[in-house]
A and B are shown apart, each in its own frame.
Chain A
Amino acid sequence: MAKLSKSAKLYLVVVFAILYAPIFYLIFYSFNSGGTMSSFEGFTLEHYGAVFNDTRLLIILMNTIIIALLSSLISTAIGVLGAIGIVFLRNRKTRNAVLSLNTILIVSPDVIIGASFLILFTMIGVKLGFASVLISHIAFSIPIVVIMVLPKLQEMSGSLIDAATDLGASKRDILTRVIIPYIKPGIFAGFFLALTYSLDDFAVTFFVTGNGFSTLSIEIYSMARAGITLTINALSALIFVVTLGLVLGYYFFNQRAGQTPGTGGAKL
């Protein structure tokens, strides 16, 4: 491979700088004792204190985490079983139809998912709040789990199952002792991706949250609309660290699942 020219290197450095500057700018001013994001007056941790002393914010944080964990657990369960079912579908046409239906929620813009779920919940009488947010998060995470698990299932040789059957394993044993262990890396990757999707979601939640129930994204949005508060900066720094941890965790499992890296974070 040819070595990079100086200008090429400079270009890459500039792109990296632009990509990271806003993030570090936010974190930098989270330590500002002045109340603005324009002049740095002195070092302080008071904004972090404000985050941890704000009971309302802590409740919202708990809500966000509970929704994320519950929705990714449930969607992983449904998604894994669904993926196994899809692989066993013998009719090619049915399988392709199911796979196309699976991708619809992945490619749909969030406004459409949010708006249509809002109509759905209103029609069937689900009260807007915790339940509607949880159900929506489960709903948009399922196809992601399926997509993450399917390649693992497809690469699994059918003779493994035949061998297990010949050795007298029951259907249940085949599932829990052959299939699940084999596709485990895919399951974890799917779970992590569902988790980040849920933690990150703003638009869908914004539509179905109603009054009274709030997640972190919704809270940050209303705070940001009101103007600059350095509490958001402190929150962003914390979220940045958590996100970094999750991304590394996701890549760790993904590497083991043998899949290529993907972009993520913002469900745009």
Chain B
Amino acid sequence: MKDNPSRPLYLVPYYIWIALFVIAPIALIFYFSFLDLTGAFTLENYQNFFSSVYLRMTLSSFWYAFLITVITILIAYPTAYWLTKTKHKQLWLLLIIIPSWINLLLKAYAFIGIFGLYGPANKLLQTLGAGPWQILFTDFSFIFVSVYIFIPFMVLPIFNSLDKINPALIDASRDLGASSFTTFRRVIFPMAINGVKSGVQAVFIPALSLFVITRLIAGNKVITLGTAIEQQFLVTQNWGMGSTIAVFLILFMIIIMMLTGHKEKGGAYNGKTK
């Protein structure tokens, strides 16, 4: 491995890829964020972003992402915790993960049927004596479907970090007289916090940026940062404004990753975490 003159050759296509598809696109997004509709230099997009319309949109996008993340943690944590105690835990984990491999569009489409005016959700409500309600195209349906889609992405990292905890530590805590709640609060939770952080990373950023769920499930009720970018690029054709929102989305992403980042040896990679 010492002297390998052919080594740079291996990297030529790879370096071209980095230059063209990693560095150039980010540079172009920054460049376009300073252009107006005619292609002239302007700071107007940034001014617009700090106007009340966009600030309100950003805040509501964050609020939804926050709600979605919290609810997903509340559902996924117990799931992951009890999964680690099942007999064939790897098999059960695989079963939890499989739905995450099903195309997102199909899952969203299923909910168009489920939440429809004559769908099973409304039938259930009617047998309970309520409804039919307009469930589709509300913020409730948006949050519900998002949580549904993100559960596996939260369960996996939490499961992995819970599974790594040495059971002897839990026994030790019990032997020293800690109640199960204290054991959980003082031993299990702090040791598995990195899993939660990875889960937050895998859920919060997509919750800010996904536009499929908003388009299909929330109608125009919910506008996330991702929806706004898609709107600017493909509908309004205002690439400058779209790029400006994208710049801020990148910034938020970096901040979230720094907040939830942690040093882990070996660089654990959780597969398709996006």
Contacts and interface: CB of A to CB of B under 8 A. Distances in A.
Given A106-B274, A109-B209, A202 B94 contact: no
A9 B7 CA distance: 54
Main secondary structure of the interface of B (DSSP, over half): helix
A130 to B, nearest CB: 18
Interface in B223-274: 226, 229-230, 233-234, 239, 242-243, 246, 249-250, 253, 257, 268-274
B25 A116 contact: yes
Contacts of A108: 250, 253
A15 B79 contact: yes
B234 A37 contact: no
Interface in A77-132: 77-79, 81-82, 84-86, 88-89, 98, 101-102, 104-120, 123
Nearest to B210: A268
B26 A196 contact: no
A159 to B, nearest CB: 10
B217 to A, nearest CB: 10
Interface string A220-262: 1100110010001000100110011011000100000000111
B212 interface: yes
Contacts of A228: 112-113, 116
B162 interface: no
A119 B104 contact: no
B55 interface: no
Given A119-B28, A228-B112, A266-B149, A111 B229 contact: yes
B118 interface: yes
B102 A240 contact: yes
Contact of A139 (B17, B123, B208): B17
Interface string A123-163: 10000000000000001001010110000000000100110
Nearest to B79: A15
A3 B87 CA distance: 9
B66 interface: no
Interface of A: 1-4, 8-9, 11-12, 15-16, 18-20, 22-23, 25-26, 29, 36-39, 77-79, 81-82, 84-86, 88-89, 98, 101-102, 104-120, 123, 139, 142, 144, 146-147, 158, 161-162, 171, 193, 196-197, 200, 202-203, 206-207, 217, 220-221, 224-225, 228, 232, 236, 239-240, 243-244, 246-247, 251, 260-268
Interface of B: 1, 4, 6-8, 10-11, 13-14, 17-18, 20-26, 28-29, 32, 75, 78-79, 82-83, 85-86, 90, 92-114, 116, 118-120, 123, 148-153, 156, 160, 167, 202, 205-206, 208-212, 215-216, 226, 229-230, 233-234, 239, 242-243, 246, 249-250, 253, 257, 268-274
Q: List the 3 closest A-B pairs by CB distance, nearest first.
A: A262-B271, A265-B101, A82-B14
18 contacts: A11-B78, A19-B96, A105-B21, A111-B209, A112-B229, A115-B230, A115-B243, A120-B25, A142-B17, A158-B1, A171-B4, A196-B272, A236-B106, A246-B101, A263-B101, A263-B202, A264-B272, A266-B107
